[in-house]
Amino acid sequence: MKSRPTSGVHLTGWGAYAPSQVLTNADLERMVDTNDEWIVSRTGIRERRIAGPGETTASMAAVAGLRAIATAGLGPDDIDLIIVGTLTPDYQMPSTAALVKDAIGNKRAAAMDVAAACSGFVYGYATAQAYVASGMARHVLVIGAETLSRYTDFSDRTTCILFGDGAGAVVLSASDEPGGTLGIEIRTEPSGAYFIWLPGGGSSRPPTASTIAAGEHFMKMKGAETFKMAVRTLGSTALASLSRAGIELADVDLVVPHQANIRIIEALARSLDFPMARVFVNVECYGNTSAASVPMALSEAVAAGRVKKGDRLLFVAFGSGLTSGAITLEWTADPAAFSRAADIGPEDVTVMPGYLGPVNPFPPALEWLRRDAAASSGRNPDLDVRDIKPAAKGPPAAASRPG
Ligand code: UT7
């Protein structure tokens, strides 16, 4: 990558992908002691999407990424750097970004994951901004993608109602035109580090039969504590980003917040005295998709005609860490460019398989739902499982040699 500092960084492409399987509040009523009225009144969520057996974070990220590249009017090989914000990577290693690079057919980009939980997309954006502004990259693909359903305890009513799967992406490009990114603020407050966490599987509590028996591979959350800290942090981070941009909140045309809970979003708007009419909300359809939520919401907002050239946008997110981040930008792209991505779908990406035999990663607790959905559409549910890519060739011979 050549070093060629640039004056402007613009959001030139955007795209999203949501898996087709829907999990409604009524479905959850059949699984845990909850009800639609409680979930809607406490969270605003009515349904969420669940990745199918043949889908992973990388496969969904790749579809959203290809859509964003097409919207930007670019090809995969125009991308210099791929950043994936995720807390649910396909593997601990390699990075999900490396798998995305191969899946979208890019031959030249560097690729890396960013671990900032639900703020992963905003942190990825901030990282991409630095690369483009410094001249180290001309076009960066930033993706937020999650398969949270595979880290959710579907017997825990305090968490399983909240989360869903999906992916969203943007392309950031160098340009000397006016507008583009105006101000960024990213923060981390470790005092809330264990408000939302996934205890098992890391170097502190490596996976064993007992960590798995104890359900340590599922997300845990102190909901009320997270809620309070979220409202406070989102507001101050958003204001700091605006101050760096040198504009007032009143000048913002649309806020695209992390879609965690409608009550958090409304409390944020109240605390800032900002009208909800200028806040984009789609939490009712997707639940909390963590790093995917801001770019998924952005794509829907543009498709819904809520964004036009010259608009000032504010993205703001918070997540485990506790991380938070906000981006203030002036939109300079043609919103109609999304039509360039109209023909791109899951059939356009293939994530290279590892050399172990395939498994069905779909949450066992939701198997009944998948089978019901297949039966009502006359599909054979076992065919979805057969979509899982077969194992690639075995490990290199050297890997099995001692020493
Ligand atoms: O990306 C960041 C991810 N995390 C978040 O955004 C989470 C932020 N926190 C929240 O969104 C909210 O705290 C929740 C939606 C998780 C919970 O709402 P709450 O108003 O804070 O409820 P609560 O935890 O104070 O629980 C109130 C009651 C409790 O019963 P008791 O002790 O009052 O008898 C819970 O056991 O509601 C009960 N409850 C439920 N009842 C029906 C908890 N979950 C459920 C449920 N259905 N699913």
Q: Give tens-digit pLDDT for 27-81.
A: 999 999 999 999 999 999 999 999 999 999 999 999 999 999 999 999 999 999 9
**Which of these is catalytic: 139, 160, 258, 282?**
258
- Between CA 326 and CA 141 the distance in angstroms is 18
**Which of these is catalytic: 10, 106, 118, 160?**
118
Please tell me the distance between residue 159's alpha carbon and the centre of ligand 1 in angstroms.
Answer: 8
37 lines ligand 1 (CB under 6 A): no
380: confidence class by pLDDT, cuts 50, 70, 90:
confident
Please tell me the distance between residue 317's alpha carbon and the centre of ligand 1 in angstroms.
Answer: 20
Residue nearest to atom 36 of ligand 1 (CA): 158
Q: What is the mean pLDDT of the chain?
A: 94
120 lines ligand 1 (CB under 6 A): no
| Whether 380 is catalytic | no
- Between CA 298 and CA 170 the distance in angstroms is 9
Contact 363, 155 (CB under 8 A): no
- Between CA 258 and CA 67 the distance in angstroms is 21
Contact 62, 345 (CB under 8 A): no
399: confidence class by pLDDT, cuts 50, 70, 90:
very low
226: confidence class by pLDDT, cuts 50, 70, 90:
very high
136: confidence class by pLDDT, cuts 50, 70, 90:
very high
Please tell me the distance between residue 224's alpha carbon and the centre of ligand 1 in angstroms.
Answer: 7
Task: Name the nearest CA neighbour of 324 among 333, 315, 334, 332.
Answer: 315
Over residues 386-393, the mean pLDDT reads 65
Over residues 142-146, the mean pLDDT reads 98
118 lines ligand 1 (CB under 6 A): yes
Ligand 1 pocket, mutate which of 227, 233, 293, 324 (most atoms under 8 A from CB): 227
Residue nearest to atom 30 of ligand 1 (CA): 158
Over residues 196-214, the mean pLDDT reads 96
144: confidence class by pLDDT, cuts 50, 70, 90:
very high
In 10 A of CB 365, how many CB atoms? 15
Please tell me the distance between residue 311's alpha carbon and the centre of ligand 1 in angstroms.
Answer: 36
Which superfamily, per CATH, for 8-377? Answer: Thiolase/Chalcone synthase (3.40.47.10)
Whole-model pTM over 0.75: yes
Q: How many CA atoms lie within 13 A of 13 on its CB side?
A: 30
Over residues 107-125, the mean pLDDT reads 98
Encoding tokens for residue 199? 């205890």
34 lines ligand 1 (CB under 6 A): yes
Over residues 380-392, the mean pLDDT reads 71
**Atom number, ligand 1, closest to the C-alpha of residue 290:** 1
Pairing status of strand 312-319 against strand 196-197: unpaired
| Whether 285 is catalytic | no
Q: Give tens-digit pLDDT for 321-337.
A: 999 999 999 999 999 99
Over residues 310-326, the mean pLDDT reads 97
Every domain of the chain and the residues it spans: 8-377
402: confidence class by pLDDT, cuts 50, 70, 90:
very low
43 lines ligand 1 (CB under 6 A): yes
